[in-house]
Chain A
Amino acid sequence: MYPTEFEYYRPKTLDEALELMKTVEEPKVIAGGQSLMPMLKLRFYEPACLIDLGAIPELKQVKLDEGGNLRIGAMVTHFEVIENGLIRENAPILASTAENIGDIQIRNRGTIGGSICEADPSADYPPTMFVLEASIVLLSKEGRRTVRIEDFIKGPYETDAREDEIAVEIIVPKSTDQYHVEKYARRKADFAVVSVAAIARTASDGSIEELRIAAGALTDGPERLKSLESALKGKKKDSVDLQTSISETVDALTPISDIHGGEEYRKYSLKMMLARVIKELIE
């Protein structure tokens, strides 16, 4: 099906874009369009005005700030996340995550800002952003605010961004700890049936000094598995009862249940995946 009619704007500066967001009727941002185009075709959205962020150079930059945090422009593509030297050096887990998204063609168009604003519960970036404790910078004519990823993603396809706000950059604290991202899908380009992102650091005496784990493909959106983290953190790696801790955490979750996998199957798979990922990280 074809999208409904809309007016199209292609601002060349961020200021111009923010002005449009404030003044035009029913504005809708288009970034890479890899989620939005299918939605427009299904007429799930029927915006009066489409604001294309594709011609704004400021949104395509990757920088390291004084605090050592990565600042990734919202319009940086998945391809650039994989290739960018600064990202590979300061948050290699993010580059690995981007490799799991869709296929080469999708990764050349789709953007990091677009994926996070779409807030698809099975998307690849969110669990990784949760363990990195990233934040999103939102801009509007009213001003600028920075929102933690856990507060930004409010639920499936629901974010904290207001209608007149544009996500301009993602702030990612430097993280060079051991990491592992894993996604299971029936075919590689599909969204995850189960997904896990984790980072860990073990001390020289074999105790688990730092551990952050998040899961995706859950009914209410991605989640940090804090009960599992606290059950393991500070413990010696040989003295933990991994199976019991994992079971307790996963049994309390509600994975998505659909044609790609029922709840029971997804819970079972998530347990297996977590056991493997954590073992690999702490060994």
Chain B
Amino acid sequence: MVTVNLTINGKEYSGETEPRMLLVHFIRDVLKLKGTHIGCDTGHCGACTIQWDGKPVKSCQILAVQAQGANLKTVEGLEGPNGELSIEQESFREKFALQCGYCTSGFLMMTNYLIRNNEEMTREEIREKLHGNYCMCTGYQQIVDAVQDAQRKYFAQKK
């Protein structure tokens, strides 16, 4: 067994793992942060998306031991200090951008990254940037609505 020490959402965590354990399972089953989901396990669906040094990655395609000393952010890190919803979460709720919610934490972690690292995105650009995330329920229209809405809120907040 190997001890992995890392930072998630600004907090330090430590856990024991076999070298072959996936990062997504380490986060969910060892550290008990259940917001990150696992869908396809092949790197396609994006349900397991987290941020590593602020950049989105798929945690089913990474070994937990590779994240030794890493600085990660998961969906649990979005909410405010008193549990208020983040702008991304608010937009997803207001625009009905989820049904079963299985894909949602992955989409939220992408949205959190995209709205901060792009000029105002068109619908087409949003679709193109989200093609590594699948949603089996919504048909994507409302997700695109929510991302646009979250970006507007983010820009307004920055002013």
Contacts of A7 in B (CB 8 A): 19
Q: State whether the Cβ of A52 lies closer than 8 Å to any Cβ in chain B.
A: yes
B28 to chain A, nearest CB (A): 15
Contacts of B63 in A (CB 8 A): 8, 30, 33, 37
B49 to chain A, nearest CB (A): 6
A153 to chain B, nearest CB (A): 23
Alpha-carbon gap, A3 to B41, bound state (A): 12
B42 touches A38 (CB 8 A): yes
Q: State whether the Cβ of A4 lies closer than 8 Å to any Cβ in chain B.
A: yes
Alpha-carbon gap, A189 to B129, bound state (A): 11
Q: State whether the Cβ of B121 lies closer than 8 Å to any Cβ in chain A.
A: no
B61 touches A37 (CB 8 A): yes
Among the 9-residue stretches B51-59, B77-85, B89-97, B145-153, the one with 4 or more Cβ atoms under 8 Å from chain A is B51-59
Residues of chain A in range 79-106 having any CB-CB distance to chain B below 8 Å:
79, 102-106
Alpha-carbon gap, A187 to B45, bound state (A): 13
Take A8-B63, A10-B68, A105-B49 as given contacts and tell me if A41 and B41 are in contact as well, using a CB distance cutoff of 8 Å: yes
B65 touches A109 (CB 8 A): no
Take A4-B20, A10-B68, A102-B132 as given contacts and tell me if A79 and B42 are in contact as well, using a CB distance cutoff of 8 Å: no
- Chain B interface extent, by class: 20 to 34
Contacts of A6 in B (CB 8 A): 19-20
Q: State whether the Cβ of B76 lies closer than 8 Å to any Cβ in chain A.
A: no
Q: State whether the Cβ of B136 lies closer than 8 Å to any Cβ in chain A.
A: no
Take A37-B43, A106-B43, A189-B131 as given contacts and tell me if A8 and B62 are in contact as well, using a CB distance cutoff of 8 Å: no
**Residue among B20, B49, B113 having the largest count of chain A Cβ atoms under 10 Å:** B20
**Residue among A4, A30, A102, A104 having the largest count of chain B Cβ atoms under 10 Å:** A104
Contacts of A2 in B (CB 8 A): 20, 22
* Contact pick for B131, options A4, A52, A187, CB 8 Å: A187
Contacts of B131 in A (CB 8 A): 103, 187-189
Contacts of B22 in A (CB 8 A): 2
- Chain A interface extent, by class: 20 to 34
Residue interface bits A236-275, CB-to-B below 8 A is 1, else 0: 0000000000000000000000000000000000000000
Q: State whether the Cβ of A171 lies closer than 8 Å to any Cβ in chain B.
A: no
* Contact pick for B19, options A33, A41, A50, A104, CB 8 Å: A50
A8 touches B132 (CB 8 A): no
Take A8-B19, A37-B43, A106-B43 as given contacts and tell me if A52 and B66 are in contact as well, using a CB distance cutoff of 8 Å: yes
Ordered by A's residue number, 29 sampled pairs between the chains whose C-beta atoms are within 8 Å are A3-B20, A4-B20, A5-B18, A6-B19, A8-B2, A10-B65, A10-B68, A30-B66, A34-B61, A37-B43, A38-B61, A40-B20, A41-B41, A41-B42, A103-B46, A103-B131, A104-B110, A104-B129, A104-B132, A105-B46, A105-B49, A105-B56, A105-B57, A105-B58, A105-B132, A106-B132, A108-B52, A109-B61, A188-B131
Residue numbers of B with Cβ under 8 A of A are 2, 18-20, 22, 41-44, 46, 49, 52, 55-58, 60-63, 65-66, 68, 110, 113, 128-129, 131-133
List of 10 A-B pairs having minimum Cβ-Cβ separation, nearest first: A103-B132, A8-B19, A108-B55, A3-B20, A37-B61, A105-B58, A105-B132, A105-B56, A188-B131, A8-B65
Having A79-B55, A103-B133, one finds 6 other A-B pairs with CB under 8 Å, namely A2-B20, A2-B22, A3-B20, A50-B19, A108-B55, A189-B132
